[in-house]
């Protein structure tokens, strides 16, 4: 599904006949996002690093990107060129890096719109070089090295040769060396891994004479190392989740002082009744082809909310009311056990959820979820 333009997102704040705002509804708290960005930027600054704020989880909605920038970031990054186009169209002047390795077929667009990209193929660098040179531009390249996570990046023994070849290309400037962790292999970044990154950066500097100002030590999973565990010379982290949801992602600890409730999803109760906890009848498969398992808890008070798997990824929804429990979901319905919830509920009441990363992305992309950004 494509991301939506600013107009699309604003158009989703439609007023139904009842006069209230349509649900499900995602409230985005910009002040909390700015505060989180400030905290993360401060933590990184003390470790000698700048921060690239990553905007892909919210389709690069410019108002949210600006809230991040206000926290003191020196770069933005996004994995999709459409999102970078959106940020540029909105007049954002902070330089922007393409995070997913560019497709050769989009090289012209990347050279025209992005200030830098992460690259692991000499062929791709060549395409960017030709595109940028023909446009009279200089496109920055951060070369990616794989230090064990086995997603993108050249193996360490192949880095130097690639760097030398790219350094000879017109239209591109070899500007950084970067690494990614905790994505495919789940490899946790460590001080030793970052020292290996620094040693490679030094090799490239020695052999090419380039200053290589960016040494990018990973994503939100590297943040747990800051400030003490980041070796001197790592100059950048690429941070999305920690700014948006307030946690580092290696051990999922809350960053001191950061907000984890920056995004709140509100959903409406459409049925509220007492029902048995065991289904009655021969049990086949549910709407998603799985055979469900049930525990008999007797008669329970159950709420059905008007949100389902077609709207968002349900697995990352966390009820704000600690006594409410998600017991299941189908395409259009979310089933909750609300027996223990103390506040009075009725049909038409709203229930709130905080979101984990998957739910955040899916809600921000979903045309069925109204966004209120403020």
Q: Which position among 99, 307, 351, 355 is part of the footprint of ligand PLP (CB under 6 A)?
A: 99
Shortest distance in whole angstroms from residue 97 CB to ligand PLP: 9
Q: Which position among 23, 80, 86, 238 is part of the footprint of ligand PLP (CB under 6 A)?
A: 238
Footprint on residues 248-267 left by ligand PLP (CB under 6 A): 249
Measure Cα distances from 366 to 26, 189, 265, 310, 363 in Å.
Answer: 10, 32, 12, 8, 5
Catalytic site includes residue 193 = no
For 9, the token pair is 């997102």
Measure Cα distances from 89 to 5, 25, 61, 62 in Å.
Answer: 11, 26, 11, 9
Pick the catalytic residue from 32, 56, 140, 371: 56
Distance CA 76, CA 84 (A): 9
Nearest residue to ligand PLP, using CB? 240
Q: Which position among 56, 139, 140, 247 is part of the footprint of ligand PLP (CB under 6 A)?
A: 56
Q: Output Rg (C-alpha) for the chain, integer angstroms.
A: 23
Give residues with Cβ within 8 angstroms of 165, minimum separation 6: 122, 125
Distance CA 22, CA 95 (A): 36
The conformation of residue 101, written as its DSSP 8-state character, comes to P
Residue showing tokens 């006594």: 323
x-or-dash string of contact with ligand PLP, 36-55, rule CB under 6 A: ------------------x-
Distance CA 368, CA 362 (A): 10
Q: Which position among 34, 36, 79, 236 is part of the footprint of ligand PLP (CB under 6 A)?
A: 79
Distance CA 356, CA 260 (A): 9
Judged by CB under 6 A, the number of residues near ligand PLP is 14
124 contributes a contact to ligand PLP by CB under 6 A: no
176 contributes a contact to ligand PLP by CB under 6 A: no
23 contributes a contact to ligand PLP by CB under 6 A: no
117 contributes a contact to ligand PLP by CB under 6 A: no
Point out which span in 37-45, 80-88, 235-243, 342-350 binds ligand PLP (CB under 6 A). Answer: 235-243
Among residues 12 and 142, whose Cβ is nearest to ligand PLP? 142
The answer to whether 141 and 168 have CB atoms below 8 angstroms apart is no
The 3 state secondary structure assigned to 233-257 is CECEEEECHHHHHCECCCCCCECCC
Q: Which position among 29, 55, 219, 370 is part of the footprint of ligand PLP (CB under 6 A)?
A: 219
Q: Residue numbers of the site for ligand PLP (CB under 6 A)? A: 54, 56, 79, 99, 118, 180, 219-220, 238-242, 249
Catalytic residues: 56
């Amino acid at each position: 599904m494509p991301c939506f333009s600013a107009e699309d997102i604003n158009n989703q704040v439609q007023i139904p006949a009842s006069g209230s705002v349509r649900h499900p509804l995602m409230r985005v708290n910009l002040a909390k996002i700015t505060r989180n960005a400030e905290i993360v930027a401060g933590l990184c600054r003390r470790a000698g690093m700048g921060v690239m704020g990553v905007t892909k989880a919210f389709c690069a909605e410019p108002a949210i990107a600006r809230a991040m920038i206000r926290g003191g970031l020196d770069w933005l990054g996004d994995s999709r060129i459409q999102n970078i186009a959106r940020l540029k169209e909105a007049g954002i002047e902070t330089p922007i890096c393409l995070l997913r390795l560019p497709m050769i077929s989009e090289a012209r667009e990347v050279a025209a719109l992005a200030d830098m990209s992460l690259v692991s193929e000499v062929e791709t660098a060549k395409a960017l070089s030709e595109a940028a040179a023909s446009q009279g531009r200089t496109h920055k390249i951060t070369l990616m090295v794989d230090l064990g996570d086995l997603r993108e990046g050249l193996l360490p023994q192949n880095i130097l040769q690639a760097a030398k070849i790219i350094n000879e290309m017109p239209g591109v400037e070899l500007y950084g060396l970067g690494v990614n962790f905790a994505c495919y292999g789940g490899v946790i970044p460590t001080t030793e891994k970052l020292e290996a990154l620094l040693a490679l950066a030094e090799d490239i500097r020695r052999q090419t004479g380039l200053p290589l100002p960016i040494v990018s030590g990973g994503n939100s999973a590297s943040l747990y190392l800051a400030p003490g565990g980041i070796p001197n010379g790592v100059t950048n982290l690429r941070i999305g989740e920690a700014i948006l949801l307030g946690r580092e992602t290696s051990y999922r600890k809350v960053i001191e002082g950061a907000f984890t409730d920056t995004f709140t999803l509100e959903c409406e109760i459409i049925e509220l009744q007492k029902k048995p906890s065991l289904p009655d009848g021969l049990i086949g498969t549910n709407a998603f082809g799985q055979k469900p398992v049930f525990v008999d808890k007797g008669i329970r008070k159950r709420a059905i909310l008007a949100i389902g798997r077609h709207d968002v990824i349900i697995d990352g929804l966390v009820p704000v009311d600690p006594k409410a429990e998600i017991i299941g979901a189908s395409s259009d319905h979310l089933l909750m056990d609300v027996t223990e919830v103390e506040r009075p509920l009725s049909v038409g009441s709203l229930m709130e959820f905080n979101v984990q990363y998957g739910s955040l992305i899916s809600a921000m992309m979903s045309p069925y979820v109204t966004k209120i950004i403020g």
